[in-house]
Structure 1
Amino acid sequence: MTSLSYLAATAVPPTRLDPWQLFLDADIVVKVVLIGLIVASIWSWTIIIGFLMRAARLKRRNAQFEEDFWGHDDPEKLISTKRASSTPSARVAKAGMDELRLSTSGAKFDREGTRLRVAQAMEGQVAAESDRLADRLNFLATTGSVAPFVGLFGTVWGIMNSFFQIGSQQNSSLAVVAPGISEALFATAVGLFAAIPAVVAYNRFNHTVNGIEAGMQRFGDRVHAQISREMDGA
């Protein structure tokens, strides 16, 4: 028995899948697909972790500011502080106060028109704060919808390559096509790995953004009601 025959006879077949080896053995097209999906997955997790930290921080700031606002003797002075400038609820209140100041700067002013403009100013600021919070969530939606199809493209290409090997080697043995099919299916698995967390996070974060937006809207409504009462008493 030659040394090569001996090595072939004594070689131990792999007992489990090795993702790294599957990547190394894959066709160049499948490798590009896998790299793209891995990069998308890493970026998705960066957005997920960043959003979780940011949303928690904004919720704390909003809650603290709103508590201070209703208990402060001079809310306008509180709004102008440096701490309040980084708080979404403070910017909502500031938008209303700024509009009130502009609308009442003349000798005469229309109370109903002022009320309407103040409400619109705060509603517009609430929408702007929500858009700012949800700025990068579209990437999660895109990854969740596109990644499975990108992985499927890698799978189709890999299977096509396996059939080409059958034709070139004139051998339809499972041992010939199995490695290529494994590499191909690995692309679909990576696509799902990138897509599933992105979809779950996107749906959950949309709910979070809606909750924060609703909270700011309720705060804006209370501020508007307070301004309206003060205008009636003026």
Structure 2
Amino acid sequence: MASPDYDAAELLAHVTGSSRLQLGLVEPTAEQEAQYAVLVGRRAQREPLQHLTGTAAFRYRELAVGPGVFVPRPETEVLVGWILDRLVGVEAPLVVDLCSGSGAIAGAVATERPDSTVHAVELSPEACVWARRNLAGTGATLHEGDIDGCLPELNGKVDAVISNPPYIPLTAWESVTAEVRDHDPALALWSGDDGLDEIKVVAATAGRLLKPGGWFGCEHADVQGESAPAVFTSTGLFTEVRDQLDLAGRHRFTTGRRV
């Protein structure tokens, strides 16, 4: 387990209804101590911390998460920031979030750019339950269905397409942590032998939706720093295709513009 002390403090703050900074001032009740012991036991069995607390922080929002939806990761916040930087100066941008999952990306864009029109597309009915909850009041519109062929009425009109699709190669099964492998939904994780199956669909869909000069950003695995950009380049639909690093210096997302 990567951060046992942090996780333990987060669980104690959760059961006592306090913050981590206030824990030294809190005296848990007997009932809270019992609840805490149960949660610590579940975490020791590698159940995700976010499933135990029911929340996940993402940029400036707190999201509801649990079984059936992918838990958003800090790395994806960098991708959102990159897209938002590209949209500075674009009036009332039209943005599409493909493979939306919990709605983390769509909700962040909609709240940080309240003048934007944001559409989120997600295939999983279970994930859509969480996305509807997280997108309520943001102004973003959720569409339940496959990204392939989605939103034809927006063809050639979109300012930015952003996606955190499934990208883990099936061959990487053994290397994936138990928290991810056993608790995140398979639909949000695996994408063919090389992990590129859904990225190819994202590339085709972004090419169809984006207006000339529109931006895309697509997350990928750190081992796909060459193969993911090659997917977008091979379509002939994009220029300025680059691979970008996350805060840990790992290859994490591909960006570019519609020709």
Query: TM-score higher than 0.5 here?
Result: no
When you count strand as a share of all residues, which structure comes out higher? Answer: 2
By relative contact order (CA 8 Å, sep 6+), the higher-ranking structure is: 1
When you count helix as a share of all residues, which structure comes out higher? Answer: 1
Sort the TM-score into its range (normalised by shorter chain): under 0.3
Q: TM-score, normalised by structure 2?
A: 0.23
Q: TM-score, normalised by structure 1?
A: 0.25
Decide which structure has the larger Cα Rg and report it: 1
